[in-house]
Amino acid sequence: MPADEIRTIPQRQRSKGSLICTAALELSTNQVTHFYSKRKNTAEMIKMLEILVEKYRDEDRIYLSWDAASWHASKEFVKTVDAINARRVNPTSPAPRVELAPLPSGAQFLNVIESVFSGMARAVIHNSDYQSINECKRAIDRHFRERNAAFAKSPRRAGNVIWGKEREPPVFSEANNCKDPRYR
């Protein structure tokens, strides 16, 4: 190479696949509920809603707060929330009241779960060499399982417990910028 030219080596890798992890963060206990989705759409949000309603069926109310993605506020999703809230009058079908608290458009940095996703991505995905999607899923499952166990054991401690990769403590604060600008 000539002295004034920077040597570069092209990076070529075959894709091993892709995955979408859909998750919810319960703020008072820092517990993550997650599953893998084929798409980011209303059907997957309804699936998460149903999981959360079942998980918290003994609670009086649950609040869902998220960014302004279209699938978070679709007519079908709102209709499902209304149907769940209507079930509350039937004592044989207990369900918490679902309240929606969307974040302003363009304010994903206020979305606390972004801190958790950034920590998971740095701890599990970045600089990894998984041989398959299933191997990656196992690593993500392990990360969330160990993270949940650590927060169940020490509910007041946020971040730096298992992986120590969260950008901000996963608790609500107007001052938090949970979206890591390096991994958008």
- Predicted confidence at residue 43, as pLDDT, reads 94
- Predicted confidence at residue 50, as pLDDT, reads 95
Q: Where are the domains of the chain?
A: 20-153
Q: What angle do CA 106, 137, 29 make, to 5 degrees?
A: 60
- Predicted confidence at residue 70, as pLDDT, reads 79
Cα dihedral across residues 133, 67, 181, 52: positive or negative: negative
- Predicted confidence at residue 156, as pLDDT, reads 53
Residues of the chain under the 70 pLDDT cut: 9-10, 13, 88-92, 108-109, 156-184
- Predicted confidence at residue 5, as pLDDT, reads 83
Q: What superfamily in CATH does domain 20-153 come from?
A: Ribonuclease H-like superfamily/Ribonuclease H (3.30.420.10)
pTM, 2 dp:
0.74
Measured CA to CA, the distance from residue 30 to residue 43 in angstroms comes to 25
Measured CA to CA, the distance from residue 107 to residue 66 in angstroms comes to 9
- Predicted confidence at residue 169, as pLDDT, reads 60
- Predicted confidence at residue 120, as pLDDT, reads 92
Query: pLDDT, tens digit, for every residue of 142-176?
Result: 999 999 998 898 875 443 443 445 556 656 666 66
8 A C-beta contact, residue 158 and residue 33: no
